[in-house]
Amino acid sequence: MEIPVVRNVLEANDRIAARLRGEFARRGILALNLISSPGSGKTSLLERTLSDLAGEFRMAVIEGDLQTDNDARRVAASGAAAVQINTDGGCHLDSSMVSEALLSLDLDGLDILFIENVGNLVCPTEFDCGEDAKIALLSVTEGDDKPEKYPYLFHKAKALLLNKIDLLPYVDFDTARARACASALNPGLAVMELSCRSREGLDLWYGWLRAAVRKKREGGTL
């Protein structure tokens, strides 16, 4: 028997993601999916952001890692609510994991939900978690050719944060090249250079966040 099908393999994931997106829209919560290689500084960025903007926004974090709750404990030290998901070897978060994690968070009055994905430049890009935007992080120790090598993330992201710029004098990272390649893939991409360690450039990121929260509250899309 022949059965013609043509069904999107990710339809189950996308259905849950659409439900989450509706819930975030109804509550005016800005949801951001942070994606990068392991060690690019996602957790450091969250630590800075959660403590620097604590007086301004109510924020919560979903942390995705293969093992341990180290990251959830790190970001919870800022006072923000944090839930850890352990994927036990899984290379990405999907919408059902996020949906499950949301049950442990109080969403009332929440302004921003950060979803820190599993460190991986490939797989997390494929799975919609209901976010308003994917945020790509790339640290200058990783090499400026990453947007060329892993184009899909940079094609899909709404913002690219070039982290660890305090190390630029010590590495051969051509900021202009990384910017040019990423912008060619995605002309609307906001590119910000910063260092979580020296705090340089963090204001650019905070400015982007404030504008995004405002847009979300007004019912717009990023």
Partner 1 sequence: MHELSLMAGVMDLARQELERHGASRLTLMRLRFGELDQVLPDALRMAFAAMTAGTSWEGARLELEEEPLELSCPLCGHRFRPGARSALYAPCPSCGETTGFGVVRGEGVFLDHLEAE
Q: What angle do CA 200, 50, 129 make, to 5 degrees?
A: 105
Binding track, positions 11-50, relative to partner 1; x by CB under 8 A: xxx-------------------------------------
Residues 64 to 93: which contact partner 1 by CB under 8 A? 90-92
Q: How far is the CB of 15 from partner 1 (least distance, A)?
A: 11
Binding track, positions 88-127, relative to partner 1; x by CB under 8 A: --xxx-x-------------------------x-xx-xxx
- Per CB under 8 A, the segment of 2-10, 15-23, 56-64, 200-208 that binds partner 1 is 2-10
3-class SS of residue 32: strand
Backbone angles phi, psi at 135, to 5 degrees: -110, 120
Q: By CB under 8 A, name the one of 107, 151, 177, 204 that touches partner 1.
A: 151
Strand order in the sheet with 159-163: 81-86, 59-65, 112-116, 30-35, 133-139, 159-163, 190-193
| Residue closer to partner 1 (CB basis): 28 or 151 | 151
DSSP code per residue over 137-160: EEETTS-TTHHHHSHHHHHH-SEE
Half-sphere exposure of residue 112: CA atoms within 13 angstroms, side-chain side: 26
Asked if 148 is part of the footprint of partner 1 (rule: CB under 8 A), the reply reads yes
The Cβ of residue 67 has, within 10 Å, a number of other Cβ atoms equal to: 10
Give the interface size with partner 1 as a residue count (CB under 8 A): 33
- Per CB under 8 A, the segment of 23-31, 40-48, 76-84, 183-191 that binds partner 1 is 183-191
Instruction: Give helix 202-217 / helix 42-52 axis angle, nearest 10°.
Output: 70
* Residues lying near partner 1 in the complex (CB under 8 A): 1-13, 90-92, 94, 120, 122-123, 125-127, 148, 150-152, 155, 181, 183-185, 187
